[in-house]
């Protein structure tokens, strides 16, 4: 269409300047809000949603935004980044023992939760069966962003943390399939057909995710890139490629990106601290943008009639559906009742249910706006209740503990032509490497501490040099012993100079 015939005015540099100013101010406010939320225990997602609501048509911003399809697209993209960041930070040693339990929660647990919640929505609220099933599926997924952000601040048993993190990473995939299936026009497919589709998509996504993660890890470990800043970009690009490949192969892209990221996160890639910092920053941007956009999409003055239904459905979900699914899935694994109780309460919801609630809106399902409003109110209210009380509940169950010693954050750079590696790290506060002599590190043959930086001054250490907190160390290791040297350094950082002799040979 030519200009002057109804075409919208193109974006100008002036519009770009205004957009950049608004976006930068929103980011700054959101960053400042993280400190407030961390002190109060209030999940940051509620703060971001609040910013979006204030900017919306019922708030001080007066911005009218009702594009559910754009919100869904941006939400999917943000969720890919969030799952990638979560997978990169997931420790295999913690998640490995929890894989069977987490898989059961992500499949059987979701099915139980959908059924119980949908029954409550249908019989207690009076929703049609299709709308009830959609709400049941939408709110049955625990949110990866909420779980990752809350649990990593609470010292919990590794089995609890590993199970919850793996569940939140796995259960998005089957829930998305269910919501899409329930939101399509026509009769709802038989349960065995849905089960077959879910298992097929999960299998394809898992295979692609593991393959892409392994290939990406192998390539990054064997190819020396010309600049350290390229490694974080490459890692995130590989993670996103896993999602795209999985989705285009008619598999679960969400499972693919999480598994690929988890493989890379445990592969000890070069320049790993920089990669984790970059992924963490990108993850924060994705969360902020996603929650603010979801806040813009909601219209507060339309929520009044949906508050009571949301409270009733959320109460059944929190007090009946989630505990029942946890007990049924975990009783056969011998999980103690205290851990089952905590995992029941820690089924946090966040942006994922709200994003999934846009699927029926885009699909034109009847009463889809009401579904969105109910899900929005449910997420806000019950996140406000569960998030701040989770640390208190853990202490009451006597499951809290002392935090583990800080990880060394070893930076690795490959020396391609010399067939060696440079390992650099700083000794953090709380590390048991403080007070250890260099010769007591007992590094494997082929590796050595070559430089120490202390109080801004560098020197070549002697075997009797005592290491201190805050010291920065440079270790040179040949290619065959690189992994062994890093394992030994991490073990000493966690267990002191007697690590290995007293069964404290911890690695990450």
**In Å, how far are 149, 183, 492 from 330, measured between CA atoms?**
24, 31, 35
**C-alpha distances in Å from residue 289, one per residue of 78, 84, 282:** 8, 16, 11
Name 166's bridge partners: none
Structure tokens, 150: 């809350």
> What does 363-387 look like in DSSP terms, one character per residue?
TT-TTHHHHHHHHHHHHHHHHHHHH
The token duo for 198 is 């879910």
Tokens found for residue 439: 């010769």
Q: Distance between CA atoms of 392 and 134, rounded to whole angstroms?
A: 33
Question: Along the 508 residues of the chain, how does pLDDT read in single tens digits?
Answer: 444 444 466 778 877 888 888 888 888 887 777 766 666 556 677 778 888 888 887 777 778 887 888 888 888 898 899 889 888 888 888 788 888 888 898 888 888 999 999 999 999 998 999 899 999 999 988 876 666 666 666 677 777 888 887 888 788 778 888 888 888 766 666 667 777 888 888 899 999 999 999 999 998 888 777 777 888 999 999 999 999 999 999 888 888 999 999 999 988 888 787 888 888 888 888 888 888 888 888 888 888 888 999 999 999 999 999 999 999 998 888 888 888 898 888 887 777 888 888 888 888 888 888 999 999 899 888 888 887 788 788 888 887 655 555 556 666 666 655 567 788 888 888 888 989 999 889 898 888 998 899 988 889 999 899 999 889 888 988 888 888 888 889 888 888 887 766 544 444 4
User: Which tokens sit at 219?
Assistant: 């390539």
Rounded to an integer, what distance in angstroms lies between the CA atom of residue 262 and that of residue 95?
Answer: 10
DSSP 141: S
Among 330, 352, 332, CA closest to 343: 330
**Hey, what are 361's tokens?**
């809106």
CA-atom Rg of the chain in angstroms: 25
CA distance 32 to 37: 9
What number of CA atoms fall less than 13 Å from residue 277's CA on the CB side?
Answer: 10
SS3 of residue 34 by DSSP: helix
172-183 helix and 253-265 helix, angle to the nearest 10 degrees: 170
In angstroms, the CA 66 to CA 49 distance is 15
Give a three-class secondary structure readout of 69-94. HHHHHHHHHHHHHHHHHHHHCCCHHH
Domains of the chain: 64-396 (1.20.1530.20), 411-495 (3.30.70.1450)
> In the sheet where 420-426 sits, what is the strand order?
411-415, 420-426, 472-478, 447-454, 457-459
Furthest CA-CA distance within the chain: 82
- Closest to 491 (Cα-Cα) out of 508, 506, 473: 506
Alpha helices in 223-336 (DSSP H): 230-248, 253-265, 272-297, 307-316, 322-330
The number of residues making up the chain comes to 508
Listing DSSP states for 179-212 in one string gives HHHHHSSSPPPPHHHHHHHHHHHHHHHHHHHHHH
């Amino acid at each position: 269409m030519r200009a002057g015939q109804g075409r919208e005015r193109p974006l100008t540099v002036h519009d770009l300047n205004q957009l950049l100013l608004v976006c930068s101010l929103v980011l700054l406010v959101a960053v400042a809000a993280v400190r407030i939320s961390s002190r109060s225990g209030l999940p940051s997602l509620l703060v971001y949603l609040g910013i979006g609501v204030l900017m919306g048509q019922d708030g001080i911003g007066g911005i009218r935004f009702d594009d559910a399809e754009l919100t869904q697209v941006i939400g999917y993209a943000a969720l890919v980044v969030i799952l990638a960041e979560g997978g990169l930070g997931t420790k295999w040693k913690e998640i490995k023992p929890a894989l069977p339990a987490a898989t059961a929660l992500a499949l059987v647990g979701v099915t139980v939760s959908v059924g119980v919640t949908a029954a409550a929505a249908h019989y207690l609220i009076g929703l049609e069966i299709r709308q009830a099933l959609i709400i049941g599926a939408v709110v049955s997924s625990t949110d990866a962003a909420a779980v990752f952000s809350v649990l990593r601040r609470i010292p919990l048993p590794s089995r609890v943390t590993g199970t919850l993190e793996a569940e939140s990473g796995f259960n998005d995939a089957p829930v998305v399939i269910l919501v899409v299936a329930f939101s399509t026009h026509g009769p709802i497919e038989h349960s065995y057909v849905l089960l077959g589709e879910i298992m097929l998509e999960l299998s394809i996504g898992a295979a692609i995710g593991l393959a892409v993660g392994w290939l990406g890890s192998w390539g990054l470990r064997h190819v020396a890139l010309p600049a350290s800043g390229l490694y974080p970009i490459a890692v995130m690009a590989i993670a996103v490629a896993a999602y795209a490949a999985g989705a285009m192969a008619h598999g679960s892209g969400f499972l693919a990106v999480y598994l690929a990221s988890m493989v890379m996160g445990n592969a000890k890639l070069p320049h790993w601290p920089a990669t984790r910092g970059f992924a963490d920053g990108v993850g924060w941007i994705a969360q902020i943008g996603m929650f603010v956009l979801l806040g813009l999409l909601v219209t507060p003055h339309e929520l009044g009639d949906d508050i009571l239904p949301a409270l009733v459905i959320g109460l059944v979900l929190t007090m009946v559906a989630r505990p029942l699914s946890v007990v049924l899935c975990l009783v056969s694994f011998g999980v103690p009742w205290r851990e089952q109780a905590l995992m029941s309460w820690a089924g946090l919801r966040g942006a994922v249910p709200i994003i999934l609630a846009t699927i029926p809106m885009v699909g034109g399902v009847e009463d889809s706006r009401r579904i969105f409003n109910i899900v929005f109110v449910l997420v806000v209210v019950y996140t406000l209740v569960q998030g701040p009380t989770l640390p208190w509940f853990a202490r009451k169950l006597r499951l809290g503990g002392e935090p583990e010693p800080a990880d060394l954050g070893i930076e690795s750079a490959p020396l391609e032509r010399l067939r060696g590696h440079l390992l650099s790290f700083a000794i953090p506060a709380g590390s048991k490497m403080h007070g250890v002599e260099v010769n007591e590190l007992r590094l494997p043959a082929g590796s050595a501490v070559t430089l120490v930086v202390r109080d801004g001054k560098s020197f070549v250490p002697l075997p009797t040099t005592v290491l201190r907190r805050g010291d920065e160390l440079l270790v040179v290791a040949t290619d065959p012993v690189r992994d062994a040297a890093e394992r030994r350094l991490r073990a000493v950082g966690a267990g002191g100079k007697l690590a290995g002799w007293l069964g404290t040979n911890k690695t990450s």
